[in-house]
Amino acid sequence: MQLIIAAVGHKMPTWIESGFREYSKRMPAECRIVLKEIKPVERSGSKTAQTVMALERAKIEAVIPKQTRIVALDEHGKDLTTMQLSQLLTEWQQEGGDTCFVIGGADGLDAEFKVRATLKIRISSLTLPHGMVRVILAEQLYRAWSITQNHPYHRV
Ligand SMILES: C[S@@+](CC[C@H](N)C(=O)[O-])C[C@H]1O[C@@H](n2cnc3c(N)ncnc32)[C@H](O)[C@@H]1O
């Protein structure tokens, strides 16, 4: 299974890139993290936030392969424990197919896109900068995978 992270935002600061790489490189080939960066839509006075999110949604959908389960990252999404995330990883591996985690841009994710997602999850109830979300998500995916392997990285 591939764990695709479709993230609006590019040209991230070096500390975000190296933080993300630090965790994504630890994942094994059978559970690889693949980052797909999406260039944000240019903001201008004539575009509302809704228009921007709809345009970004089209760009997001263009990078998600068909038959992929979609997990939207949203501060109003479901709270998951790391153990629950690791159980989900196991279920997804048994079901087969890839999983795409989607991180929105400065205005967030299009409302209809979120309704259609297989699952909406939050990392915390705080609003986080989108670059930081990809780093925390990569760390949590590594942690969740390490639990499935009884690897000592995660201590209860
Ligand atoms: C700066 S936030 C956008 C905030 C926007 N007001 C909204 O309602 O989503 C950019 C993206 O980061 C992700 N994000 C921010 N905080 C999050 C959190 N606590 N949990 C999960 N995802 C979060 C979401 O994907 C969001 O679309």
Per-residue pLDDT of the chain (156 residues; tens, 9 = 90+): 999 999 999 999 999 999 999 999 999 999 999 999 999 999 888 899 999 999 999 999 999 999 999 999 999 999 999 999 999 999 999 999 999 999 999 999 999 999 999 999 999 999 999 999 999 999 999 999 999 999 889 887
Q: Give me the helices (H) in 1-129, please.
A: 14-24, 49-63, 82-95, 111-116
Q: Is the CB of 128 under 6 A from ligand 1?
A: yes
Nearest residue (CA) to ligand 1, atom 3 = 108
Q: How far is the C-alpha of 117 from the C-alpha of 60, rounded, in Å?
A: 12
Distance 124 CA to ligand 1 centre (A): 10
Q: What is the ipTM of this complex?
A: 0.97
Our answer on whether the CB atom of 8 is closer than 6 Å to any ligand 1 atom is no
Element (H or E) spanning 143, and its range? helix 130-148
The token pair that represents 80 in the structure block: 């998951």
The whole model's pTM is what?
0.96
Q: What was the pLDDT predicted at 45?
A: 86
Domains and CATH numbers, the chain: 3-148 (3.40.1280.10)
- Ligand 1 atom closest to the Cα of residue 124 is 19
